[in-house]
Copies of this chain bind each other. A is one copy, B any other.
C-alpha cells in the first residue's frame, strides 16, 4: 500500500510539528526548522504533506474532533451532572498529559488557521462550549451546583485546566491521577476552608 509507508513519515512530521509549534509558535517555526527536526530537507516533506497550513489544520481539528466526540459520549452516560462535569475535567487533563503538544497548538495557534478552516474551528469550539455550558446549567437547575453564571463557570474550568500544559512533567512528584483529583477538588469545593 502506498498510503501505509506514507503515513509513517507523515505522522512523524505532524508530531514534530506539534512540538515545535508549541515551543516556538506557528509563525516562529519555519519549514526548514521542521525539516531539521524530522531529519529531512524542507522540500522533501512536501511528498507527505500539502502545505504548512495543512499541518496546522490537521493538528487543530484532530484535537477539536476528540473533544466533541468525547463530549457526546459523556452526555449520554447515566450519571449526575457533577459526575459528567468531573469526567469532562478529567478528559481535558488527560488529553493535555497524553497529547500536550497538539492540545497546546489547538489552544494557542488556531488563530493562524485561514478562511473556512478558521471559521469551522471557531464554530466547533463554540459548539463544544455550548454543550459544556448546558451541562452546567442543567446541574444548577437540578440543584447539584451553586447558582453561578454558567459562562463564568465554564470558562473558569476550561482555563483552569490549561496550565497543565505548561507545568506538568512526568517526574514532578505528582501523578496524573493526583493532579486530576487536586484540580477537581479545587474547582468543585474551592480553596477556602
Q: How large is the interface on A (under 10, 10 to 19, 20 to 34, 35 or more residues)?
A: 35 or more
Cross-interface CB contact of A159 among B27, B160, B188, B193, cutoff 8 Å = B160
Knowing A158-B163, A182-B148, say if A191 contacts B153 (CB, 8 Å): yes
Residues of A within 8 A of B (CB): 23-28, 82, 85, 108, 111-112, 136, 143-146, 148-149, 151-153, 155-163, 166-167, 174, 178-179, 182-183, 185-193
Please give me the residue from chain B that is nearest to A29 by CB atom. B27
Knowing A188-B192, A192-B82, say if A156 contacts B183 (CB, 8 Å): yes
A77–chain B nearest beta-carbon distance, Å: 18
Knowing A24-B111, A108-B108, A111-B24, say if A187 contacts B146 (CB, 8 Å): no
Cross-interface CB contact of A189 among B151, B178, B192, cutoff 8 Å = B192
Question: What are 14 A-B pairs with beta-carbon distances under 8 A?
Answer: A24-B111, A25-B25, A27-B27, A144-B192, A146-B191, A148-B182, A148-B191, A149-B178, A152-B179, A155-B163, A156-B163, A156-B183, A159-B159, A187-B191
Cα–Cα distance between A72 and B178 once the two chains are bound (Å): 32
Please give me the residue from chain B that is nearest to A154 by CB atom. B163
Q: What DSSP secondary structure best describes chain A's contact surface?
A: helix
Cross-interface CB contact of A146 among B108, B155, B183, B193, cutoff 8 Å = B193
Residues of B within 8 A of A182 (CB): 148-149, 152
B174/A163 in contact, CB under 8 A: no
Since A28-B111, A152-B183 are in contact, a sample of 10 more A-B pairs with Cβ atoms closer than 8 Å, ordered by chain A residue number, is A25-B25, A25-B112, A27-B27, A144-B192, A146-B191, A146-B193, A153-B186, A156-B187, A159-B161, A189-B192
